[in-house]
Amino acid sequence: MAGPWIVTFLYGLLGATLVQADLRPPAVLNLGPVVIKEHLTQALKNHDATAILHELPLLSAMRDRSGSVPVLDSLMRSFLRYIIWMKVTSANILQLAVQPSTYDQELVIRIPLDMVAGLNTPLVKTMVQFQMNTEIQALVRVEKSKSGPTRLNLGDCSSSSNTLRLSLLNKLSFMVNSLANNVMNVLVPALPQMVKNHLCPVIQQAFDDMYNGFLRLATAPIALSPGALDFGLLSPAIQDNNIVFNLEAKLLDSQARVTKWFNSSVASQMETTPNGAPFSLLMRQDLVNAIVDTLVPKEELVILLRFLIPEVARQLQADIKEINAEAANKLGPSQMVKIATYSGPQIVLNEDGATAAQNIILEVFPTNADVRPFFSLGIEANYEARFFTEGDRLMINFSNISIERIKLMISDIKLFNPETMKGTLTKILEYTLLPNVNGKLRTGIPMAMVRALGYEKSLWSVNKERVGSRVRICIRNLPRQPLAPTSSANEAQPMKCPSWSAG
């Protein structure tokens, strides 16, 4: 059947959606400061960071440093000798902060520490207690290495003496008070170094764990039905206080063979997560279309029209009668329609929302025993496309099928203008192709990432891009607490994806 005629026609339709190659990454995962903060806090807990603070060797550090502090008199030196015990008695890591740096591709992590230290000496009956507050600052940067992949590293970890606050918690005699002040004078230079030496390696490990965890989430295979979607890291980046993964994507068939590969060497500069969204995942339109293609493979539907939709079969017979009465009489009870899809539905964005276009060939046979159709039609069908979420699945559903273009390709009954049967054909597609496609899309795209990042709900929406007249589709999670009572009706709510900056 596929004569040159059809090929021209199909190219004509597809040509409109074939835009020049898009060099931006096929997908971008953007992790905002809230996600980084929560996951780093958890990683520090996993590494028992506060236990390390409890173990800080305050006394030996003080003894080492005491020689270098000139103000210490001999009384103090002997006092230090009399301290029989000195320890951190309580330690807390307070709310850490993830902040943008003034430098490109760098973010700042601040970790405030709150500790109480106690010392015992025979010179005083009660334990002398100090409150110690300090802050660790570390920088996260993109590290390109010759051997391994480019990754984000935490470095320049330190606790500056500017952030150090020491205060005495007890009221003591004038004499002991002045001794305690001397102890603090020694601690001021000793503590930042001690914190750096003991805690920074742990913070580094915690960051690496978190980073590797993020990477695993971003690149965990996503089961499609059939096949799978695999993301791989193209490059990590930092944008303001966000961690950004530029991702490549592979589509695999049910035998785990790569059917489509989306890579791009050019990393994008993009904006941070949209307001109120702790993270977002953006997928390029061509990737979304390829996913839809995987979910809805090309196929041929054979429909015994009178059994399935008798009233539409009668309508078609009436339409054919207008063209050729003799042919209409030949239509038997097993009157058959074949619908072959020639492309997966292609998502297209317009001002009001998303639509999908699909090329099909529709053939009408008088009976199921006939091999030669009465006529063949080339049809570009259009759907309204709706994107929503169900649990942690991204769902696509089509509705309102219509016929955008229709051409008579072959006719055995007489040449006719197929526009005359558009209404009937639309009904046929509505009862057959539409539920078939929706059934295939029904399993959706499972996004384990949403729950793994600690969120219940996500939202996925489409965003028209003027740049290169491309469409992007983005998924973002909702804040755990709805911002306003109305925002719980999230599915219909329009949402803007962050825009790619021109760079």
Closest distance of CB 361 from ligand NAG, Å: 22
What are the CB-based long-range contacts (under 8 Å, 24+) for 307-312? Answer: 308/431, 308/432, 309/427, 309/428, 309/431, 309/432, 312/424, 312/427, 312/428, 312/431
Helix (H) or strand (E) holding 151: strand 151-159
Q: Are 335 and 304 in contact (CB under 8 A)?
A: yes
Structural tokens at position 471: 């469409």
The site string for ligand NAG over 247-266 (x = CB under 6 A, - otherwise) reads: --------------x-x---
Which region, judged by CB under 6 A, interacts with ligand NAG, from 89-97, 192-200, 279-287, 396-404? 396-404
Interface size with ligand NAG, residues (CB under 6 A): 10
Q: Does 402 bind ligand NAG (CB under 6 A)?
A: yes
Task: Pick out residues in 292-311 that bind ligand NAG (CB under 6 A).
Answer: none
Cβ closest to ligand NAG, residue 207 vs residue 231: 231
Q: Does 438 bind ligand NAG (CB under 6 A)?
A: yes
Cβ closest to ligand NAG, residue 7 vs residue 23: 23
Q: What are phi and psi of 198, to 5 degrees?
A: -95, -40
Closest distance of CB 434 from ligand NAG, Å: 5
Cβ closest to ligand NAG, residue 111 vs residue 312: 312
Cβ closest to ligand NAG, residue 215 vs residue 453: 215
Closest distance of CB 193 from ligand NAG, Å: 45
Distance of alpha carbon 201 from alpha carbon 155, whole angstroms: 10
Closest distance of CB 107 from ligand NAG, Å: 28
Which region, judged by CB under 6 A, interacts with ligand NAG, from 5-13, 48-56, 62-70, 399-407? 399-407
Query: How many other C-beta atoms are found inside a 10 Å radius of the C-beta of residue 68?
Result: 10
Cβ closest to ligand NAG, residue 370 vs residue 384: 384
Partners of 27 in the β-ladder: 247, 283
Cβ closest to ligand NAG, residue 143 vs residue 384: 384
Distance of alpha carbon 116 from alpha carbon 467, whole angstroms: 56
Distance of alpha carbon 394 from alpha carbon 79, whole angstroms: 68
Closest distance of CB 477 from ligand NAG, Å: 21
Cβ closest to ligand NAG, residue 101 vs residue 438: 438
Cβ closest to ligand NAG, residue 76 vs residue 249: 249
Cβ closest to ligand NAG, residue 232 vs residue 454: 232
Which region, judged by CB under 6 A, interacts with ligand NAG, from 331-339, 343-351, 364-372, 395-403? 395-403
Distance of alpha carbon 93 from alpha carbon 115, whole angstroms: 9
Comparing CA positions, the residue from 477, 466, 475, 476 lying closest to residue 500 is 466
Q: Among all chains, which residue has been given the structure tokens 């440093």?
A: 65
Cβ closest to ligand NAG, residue 311 vs residue 352: 352
Structural tokens at position 228: 């799978």
Task: Single out the residue of 397, 443, 490, 499 in contact with ligand NAG (rule: CB under 6 A).
Answer: 397
Closest distance of CB 442 from ligand NAG, Å: 8
Closest distance of CB 402 from ligand NAG, Å: 5
Q: Are 204 and 228 in contact (CB under 8 A)?
A: no
Show the DSSP H helices in 220-364 as ranges. 285-295, 305-308, 310-323, 325-330
Q: Does 399 bind ligand NAG (CB under 6 A)?
A: yes
Cβ closest to ligand NAG, residue 129 vs residue 402: 402
Q: Are 183 and 119 in contact (CB under 8 A)?
A: yes
Show the DSSP H helices in 16-154 as ranges. 33-46, 49-54, 58-66, 74-82
Distance of alpha carbon 73 from alpha carbon 296, whole angstroms: 84
Closest distance of CB 61 from ligand NAG, Å: 51
Task: Single out the residue of 271, 384, 412, 491 in contact with ligand NAG (rule: CB under 6 A).
Answer: 384
Which region, judged by CB under 6 A, interacts with ligand NAG, from 101-109, 338-346, 392-400, 458-466? 392-400
Strand, helix or coil for residue 123: coil
Chain contacts with ligand NAG (rule: CB under 6 A): 261, 263, 384, 397-400, 402, 434, 438
